[in-house]
Amino acid sequence: MLVDGLFKTVLQHFQDVHDAATTDQIIGTTVHLLANLSNPLNLGVLTSQLLTAPAIWHRQDGTKSALRVISIYNSAAARIRENELQAAKRKGPAGGDARVLGCEEWTRAVVKGADDRSRRWQHLLVLAGVFMGMEGNDRHSLSRGLRNTLEQAVVLATNLALEGNVEDGPAAAASIVSALTFVFPLLSEHHQTQINCDALLPIAVWAMTGEEGFCDAQFLRAVDRDTTTIQPGHVLSWTAQSPSCALLQQIEKQPLVANMGPLSRLAAFAVRHARDTSVVLQAQDALLVFTGRVLGTWQMNRLSGIDYSLEGSQLSPETVQTTWPLLWQVFQRLMFSTTVILQAIVARSLLDQHMLMPGMAQDIASKSLQILRNIFFISSRNGNSAFQVYTFTYMTSLDVLSSDALATETLLKELRSVDATDIPSTPLGRTLDLFYLNVAEHLPLSLSTDACEALLVKPAIAYLSHEVPMSASMTENFEAAHSVILSALSCPQHSALSIKIMPFYIVKLFQSFPQHISPRQFRVAFKTVMEMVSPPNPIAAMDPHLSETLLEMLRNNLSTASTHLLPRVRNRPTSIAADAPNETQQEQEQDPMSEQSALVLTLIDSLPFLPVPLVEEWLDITARALHEIQNARLREPVRKRLWDILASGEMDFERSMIGIAWWGNKGGRELVMGVPPQLAMMSGGLGGDATSSRL
């Protein structure tokens, strides 16, 4: 009788609007009733009344109301499951004479309450809560038949709700997506594929980018309004007590943002299984618009003018410790979710015949790269882009784009809208330049020589010619510029351009080391240039003496090179740093090194690319340079590298035979080991310094 009285009271309270505290009490009582009512008809009535109750829905707070309903039925189902387990252990009814409903009977009774008085999207909330409570966390409370029926009901409710989401409004759309983020992983693969992905994908992307998600990045405007400049020092301050910080914390707690991982995976599934290709293309366009707004709004924010390497001195201590990490946490979620959906679009573009049509594939790749550019200010920080989904999306888009010269040139012109000879004055501008340089490095083969010079070489030279002291972020651009030049030089069809810029580049390369590039980076760059100017590359025929000229420049720099130890620098993941010649060189990067020893190692790395007539002469020069290194600790790794290049097979057969003869018969061993050559002597003769016997 106590439960029946409570049941009537709750039904009465459902019809009125209450304050937040009373509403929470009603919700708690509803969960209690759902777990304790023994009459299946009452369970159906309670569910039917709840789905239309003003007390539950009056707040009109979108996904929060949806989450409350899901939570009610999830909690109640979990209690029913627990009650059934306890009753089975006692081998008797729980609670004395009260009849306890089993999981299956309770589930059927509750589902019957989702009737025509309420909307289909509200039915989905009940079904999702029940399914999660019964089958979530590997509970397996239902029989196979009832579970299958419940899954079918979830799919049916979802598809009917998707058909009417325009009529039901944004709150319904957000509620559908919110429910699916919880229940979708529990569905079998068969039932997952029955969901109408053509209708699901648009609202999933909208849910991520709209008011229930990242709010089209409009929170950045509020952050800018609350950012102040503190004198002296012109330090920027954004306090934790500001309205924008409270807004950001509220956004983080929104159900869809808190569940952004499952939401992005749901959208990616919809991309893969949508039947209409145009829906997928519209989703990509929506991501392009959204990320463009993110970048545009961030550009207008004063905080975007902070160089990441100088944050400690340009931001107030409170900002560095509280609000700044909060902002970047939201940014990271935004980047990861965008990339997951974009990866699914790019992957589908490789298989969908409609997306493989001439021009279409390159357009998709171009838009994908523009989206990645828009979020590069996030992905370039703290290794945020170092995950497989991002790498696949980026490299695949580059690969597809490079198959079309016109599309490649068009994209590069769009990405580099300013004068190629200008270096942006803002950190954000230089970050976008870094993305441009990273993209350009992969595309010289697709460009004409004139386009290569205008779109690749000139922007790179602008950074290589930069004379102002470099910050850590500027150094990344500097290294990327080196990689772009090396990439352009390595293309045989650009030989005329290579001859034109080679002298300038070599001078800049020597000027950059060791202040701006590491020993490993210098060695890779010089080795690459030597390979380019050696046969059978066309440059070798145009200027046969260029390789020896480069080695003479290297030899001249040896005479003035410092013998002091260089600091060990962790290489950044740019091509100039990552393309190591071999494992031995990677090991040597751990050895102590001076500028002098690094140059000798560079000389050794170049030996396999020398013209054959010069190999023996430069082996002698290299061996003598080895002994100019006075510090034995620095000299030994260089000696090992010389042994390695002679014995490991890096040199071709002809050069290897010259090396073997030089080592064995022409004094190479003595030069390298520092052993004086022995005088010629008759077999069996006594040495001149031998002690004579008195016998």
| Per-residue pLDDT tens digits for 140-157 | 889 999 999 999 999 999
- 105 within 8 A of 40, measured Cβ to Cβ: yes
Asked if the model's pLDDT at residue 48 lies above 60, the reply is yes
pLDDT of residue 545: 85
- 524 within 8 A of 579, measured Cβ to Cβ: yes
Q: What is the pLDDT of residues 173-204, one digit of tens each?
A: 999 999 999 999 999 999 999 999 999 999 99
Q: What is the pLDDT of residues 4-14, one digit of tens each?
A: 789 899 999 99
Pairwise pLDDT comparison (2 vs 247), residue with the higher score: 247
**What is the H or E stretch that residue 235 is in?**
strand 235-237
DSSP labels, 14-26: HTS---HHHHHHH
Asked if the model's pLDDT at residue 579 lies above 50, the reply is no
Phi-psi region of 561 (alpha: psi -120 to 50; beta: other; left: phi over 0): beta
Q: What is the pLDDT of residues 329-358, one digit of tens each?
A: 999 999 999 999 999 999 999 999 999 988
* Cα-based angle 12, 255, 204 (whole degrees, multiple of 5): 110
Asked if the model's pLDDT at residue 408 lies above 50, the reply is yes
Can you tell me whether residue 370 is helix, strand or coil?
A: helix
Average pLDDT score, the chain:
89
Q: What is the pLDDT of residues 91-110, one digit of tens each?
A: 654 444 456 688 999 999 99
- 488 within 8 A of 541, measured Cβ to Cβ: no
Q: What is the pLDDT of residues 601-660, one digit of tens each?
A: 999 999 999 989 999 999 999 999 998 998 889 999 999 999 999 988 889 999 999 999
Sorting pLDDT into bands at 50, 70 and 90, what band is 417? Answer: low
For the record, the structure tokens of 508 come out as 């800049």
Residue 208 has phi, psi (to 5 degrees) of -70, -40
Query: CATH top-level class for 1-186?
Result: mainly alpha
pLDDT of residue 607: 93
All structural domains of the chain with their residue ranges: 1-186, 196-229+237-363
CA distance 534 to 536: 6
CA distance 437 to 459: 8
Pairwise pLDDT comparison (502 vs 694), residue with the higher score: 502
Longest CA–CA span in the chain (Å) reads 131
All residues at 6 or more sequence positions from 585 whose CB lies less than 8 Å from its CB, including other chains: 520, 523, 601, 605, 641
DSSP assignment letter at 517: S
